[in-house]
Structure 1
Amino acid sequence: MAHIPYLQSIYPLAGESAVDIGAGEGTFSRQLAAEGAKVTAIEIDADKVAWARAHLPADITVKRGVAEKLPLPDASQDLCCMFFSLHHVPKEAQDTAFAEILRVTKPAGRLHIVEPFAYGTMFDVVRFVEDETEVRTHSHAILPQLSERLPLRLRAHEDYTLTRAFDSFDDFAEQIIRIDPARMEVFPDVADEMRAAYENAVEEEAGQRVLRQPCAAYHFEVMGSA
């Protein structure tokens, strides 16, 4: 299972206006658009925004912004998505982010959030340079109860596991560590431990060396305005 196939299985995307909040370089924005959605990608990092504008299809709108202040009109989106990005929003700003999501989503629109768990072989290796145990645990604590305090109804929930293939530890480091300056700052001090953890965790599957990241998707319907 992967993010977009699961979302498409419960919510047809063709013709829907969708915003990808915390889009990075637009991997999932591209996949949403491939299913027929009219996509806006929003990202805080200026370098990633520039890359996305240069490389994504022209029909994907790319904007710089944050979840707490979305650069979108009121009631303009059928679907708001956060793929592995909620835990990057500071806890003290998350209520503001949810209020913004409700502001820009149409009545009866949808909110789709996927968050990784603080376990799995991918987590076991990455935690040496970025331990997200607390923020990931917080996300999974609040999301099942979100409809108790916001005008949202949980329509679907699914746990599944993502699989990432890497040619070697050096390939892993290139894809997962060197793209993030904060991770790179820590990496030299933990490189040997991290390499050992990678070799201990990596599995062989269909001729590839893979790490696994369990996650959960929460799919909400907006019941009214904020």
Structure 2
Amino acid sequence: MSHIEHLKSLYPLQGVHVVDVGAGDGIYSRQLHAVGAKVTAIEIDPRKVAKARENLPSSIQVKLGAAEKLPLSSGAADLVGMFFSLHHVPSDFQSATFREIRRVLKSSGRLHIVEPYPYGTMFDVVRMVEDETHVRTRSHQLLNGLDRDRGFELVNKREYVLTREYPTFEVFLEKIVLPDPDRTRAYDAVAAEMAATYERVAETVDGRVVLHQPCAAYHFSVAG
């Protein structure tokens, strides 16, 4: 199961304007574009914005901006997506984020948020350089309590496991740890233990070495 595959089963993406909030370097923006969506990627980190602009198709708009202050006009979007990004929004700004999302969505719009759980083999390895137990737990609590008072109604919730392939620990480091300066700084103190944890929890499935990240996808409509 992939994030975009599941979203497609809930909402037709061909030709609709999708805003990818917390887009990073654009991995999900690219996938949304590939299935026919008109995509605007929003990212707060200027380095990731530059990388996304360099690597994504030119038809994808990439904008520098924060989730709590989206650089979009009111009613501009058919769907707002946040893929593994809500828990990165500081708690003080999360209420403002939902107000902003409601502002930029059309009255017929949808909000789709996928958040990882604080467990799974992927989490077992990553938490050694960035323990997100608290922020991930809080995000799920927030989403489970999101209701009409915030302008949204839950249409669908589905739990599934995202499986990612990392053939070696070195590949895992290259993709997950080294691009992040904070994780890189934390890595030296736990290098041996982290390598041992990867070797212990990584699984071989159909000849692929993988880690698993359980998550939940929350799909909301705009409350009338």
Query: TM-score scaled by structure 2?
Result: 0.99
1:42 is aligned to: 42
Whole-angstrom CA distance in 1 between matches of 2:145 and 2:177: 33
Partner of 1:93: 93
Task: Give distance in 2, aligned partners of 1:71 and 1:151.
Answer: 20
The code of the aligned residue for 1:123 comes to: F
2:194 is aligned to 194
State the SS of the aligned residue for 2:63. strand
1:10 to partner: Cα distance: 0.7
Corresponding position: 1:223 with 2:223: yes
- Given that 2:148 and 2:223 are in contact with CA atoms closer than 8 Å, whether structure 1 keeps it comes out as no
Q: CA–CA distance in 2 between the matches of 1:131 and 1:57? A: 34
Distance 2:148 2:53 in 1: 38
CA distance in 1, matches of 2:33, 2:208: 29
Q: How does 1:69-84 map to 2 (within 5 A)?
A: 69-84=69-84
Q: State the AA in 2 paired with 1:26.
A: G
Q: Identity rate of aligned residues, in percent?
A: 57
SS at match of 1:149: helix
Cα RMSD over matched residues? Answer: 0.7
Question: What stretches of structure 1 move > 6 A for 4+ residues in a row?
Answer: none
Deviations 1:39-64 (A, max 9, x none): 00000111110111111001100000
CA contact (8 A) 2:154 2:220 kept: yes
Aligned pair count? 224
Unaligned runs of 5+ in 2: none
1:28 aligns with 2:28: yes
**Structure 1: any 5+ residue segments left out of the alignment?**
none
Distance in 2, Cα, partners of 1:167 & 1:157: 31
CA distance in 2 between counterparts of 1:130 and 1:186 reads 8
TM-score, normalised with respect to structure 1: 0.98
Question: 1:114-158 deviations in whole A, cap 9, x for unaligned?
Answer: 000000000000000000000000011110110153121101100
Aligned to 1:4: 4
